[in-house]
Each structure stands twice: as C-alpha cells, then as structure tokens.
Amino acid sequence: MSIEKFKFQDIARSERYFTATLLPHLLMANGFEGVRILFKYLFGDIFVQNGDDYEVVSEVDPVRDGGIYNSMIRKEFNLNGRVAVPDLFVRWGDRILVIEAKFFTQPNNTDLIDQLSQQKKAIELVMNYTSYLPSNIVYCLLLFLKPNDLIPENGDLVFTWYEIQNIFSIWDNPNNSYDIIHTIGVLKRSIKRAEEEIKFSDRITFSRINSFDELLKQIPNLTSTGKIWVGFGEGLDTVSDLNGLIHRSHFKVTDDPKGSKNWVRLDELYSKYLSLKYSQS
C-alpha cells in the first residue's frame, strides 16, 4: 500500500487522532446530537429524556489531574503515580461512558480487560470527590475488530469502529453540514486503510504497561517471557532528557516486533534511562 502524495489526515495512525479529534467532533456536532445518537444506539430509548447536560473529555487522567485540585487525591498520586488514562469520557445527564479505544492496534484479550480494570480503578479512586454516581458509569472497549472470544466483565460493553461508521453514516444531517460529512469521510478512509493493513501485514501482538515505574518492575517477568521489545516509534536517539523518555501515557511490549523499526530492545531503553538519569544528577 503506497501513497505518493498524501494529506496528514489520510496517514494519521495515532489512536488519539481518532479518540480526541474525529470521534469527539462527531459526538459534539449539532448541539451534541452525536452523543444522543451513540447513547440511543447502545442503550435504546431509555436516554431520550436525559436532558441537555453533556461532557466529552478525552485523555483525562483522573488521579493526576484531580490531584491538582484535591489534596487527598494528590496523596494518592504521590503514592501510586499514574493509574490509567481513559481515551474518552462521555456523559449525557447522569449517564456516563468511559471508553478505551483501539484502531490500528489490537492487544490481546487479557490486556484489553486489564486496561478497562485499570480505568475503573482510576475513576473509583476519585469518585467520592466528583458529582458522578458509580452505578451510572458503563465502561466500554471500542475496537477495530471484536474478537469472538473476548468476554467483557459484567456490564462492560464492546463495540467497533464499523458500528461508529454505520450509525453516523445514516445520520439525518438536514443542514448538510460539511464538518460532519468531512469527518465521516476521514473515518471511512481510515477504516479502509486498517482493512488493507490486515490483508497485507501481520499485526503485532503486544501488552501494555501503564507507567515507566511499572515497566522497571516488570523487567524480570518481561525478560523471562521474551517480551524484550518496547514500542518507541521515534527512536531513542531523538530523546535528550529524562522526562521525554519516561513520561508517556503507556508503554507497549512484545516478543515479536515483526521487523518493525518502531520497537527498541528493553536493555537499550534501560541503558538510555540510566544515561539520562545520571547525566542530569
């Protein structure tokens, strides 16, 4: 698959582009009509009379961000660090979706369920300091493909980008709003790209680790299981300070990068960490 001249919107692969740009735009368009469409699709007409109070928040870190404004949460953050960062938090009235999304990547089922569990933990840690009710929250996996053997925990949902494409493609857009048409078009082309990748390349199976401290703790287990490759697309040579190395939303590890240059060996990453840490001390 080759594109000689391209637009960035047609090559973007970061899941943040889909969960922090495209999907939120669809959800908030036409006075949050997209939120109403999604909730009604997932839950039926129970939400028809749910009022006009909405939230759409991407990449919120409940513990870190909450700790800025609450000393008790700050103690939790200082003790345990980052727990998890939901890709998207969507609220209509008193009902909430917490979404973990994947697009060009597909972790194994165990890691997907673990990521949802970590998100629950992060939100539960701050729940008493929010205006939300835990009984009104539904945790979701939004995936490119839904594995047949993926069994979510009780009450959790799994749906796909194909479903997002379908429900918004039949959106009654009486004003023929170009922004909606444009966003749906970009999403459709991105789905086509992902389909082509599945046809012509093997997907890399990986596990996700939520912090650099956790990565260090996992080194004995990672080396024993052969997961000695860490996702680092920009390469270690581009990193010149410690913060740039360790302060990331998560780390991906695998035992088989399938020849991709977007992965570095664990020992190389650790050597870079030691070099930066002690050169700055």
Check residue 3 and give its pLDDT: 59
201 pLDDT above the threshold of 60 = no
Check residue 49 and give its pLDDT: 57
DSSP state of 281: -
Domain boundary among 167, 199, 231: 199
One domain for residues 236 and 130: no
One domain for residues 67 and 164: yes
Q: What is the number of H-type helices and E-type strands within the chain?
A: 11, 9
Asked whether residue 3 is assigned to any structural domain, the reply reads: no
One domain for residues 194 and 216: no
Domain boundary among 141, 170, 199: 199
One domain for residues 253 and 132: no
Task: Supply the mean pLDDT for the chain.
Answer: 87
In percent, the amount of the chain with pLDDT more than 90 equals 41
19 pLDDT above the threshold of 80 = yes
Check residue 257 and give its pLDDT: 84
97 contact partners, CB below 8 Å, separation of at least 6: 38, 39, 42, 88, 89, 90, 91, 137, 138, 140
- Mean pLDDT to the nearest integer, 166-195: 88
Reported as a pLDDT band with limits 50, 70 and 90, residue 91 is very high
One domain for residues 190 and 52: yes
4 pLDDT above the threshold of 70 = yes
236 pLDDT above the threshold of 80 = yes
One domain for residues 50 and 72: yes
- Mean pLDDT to the nearest integer, 4-12: 87
One domain for residues 186 and 233: no
The residue segments making up the domain with residue 63 are 8-199
One domain for residues 176 and 264: no
Reported as a pLDDT band with limits 50, 70 and 90, residue 202 is low
Q: What is the CA radius of gyration of the chain?
A: 20
Asked whether residue 151 is assigned to any structural domain, the reply reads: yes
Greater confidence (234 vs 280) lies with 234
In percent, the amount of the chain with pLDDT more than 70 equals 94
Of the listed ranges 30-39, 200-209, 245-254, the one predicted with least confidence: 200-209
Find the helix or strand (DSSP H, E) in which 180 lies.
Answer: helix 178-200
Reported as a pLDDT band with limits 50, 70 and 90, residue 147 is confident
Q: Are strands 157-160 and 54-58 parallel, antiparallel or unpaired?
A: unpaired
Asked whether residue 240 is assigned to any structural domain, the reply reads: yes
Name the residue among 271, 224, 276, 262 with its Cα closest to residue 13.
262
- Mean pLDDT to the nearest integer, 133-159: 87
pLDDT tens for each residue of 100-143: 999 988 778 888 888 899 999 999 999 999 999 888 899 999 99
What is the distance between the terminal CA atoms of the chain, rounded to a whole angstrom?
Answer: 47
One domain for residues 183 and 229: no
89 pLDDT above the threshold of 90 = yes
Number of domains in the chain: 2
- Is the pTM of the predicted complex or chain greater than 0.75? no
One domain for residues 85 and 168: yes
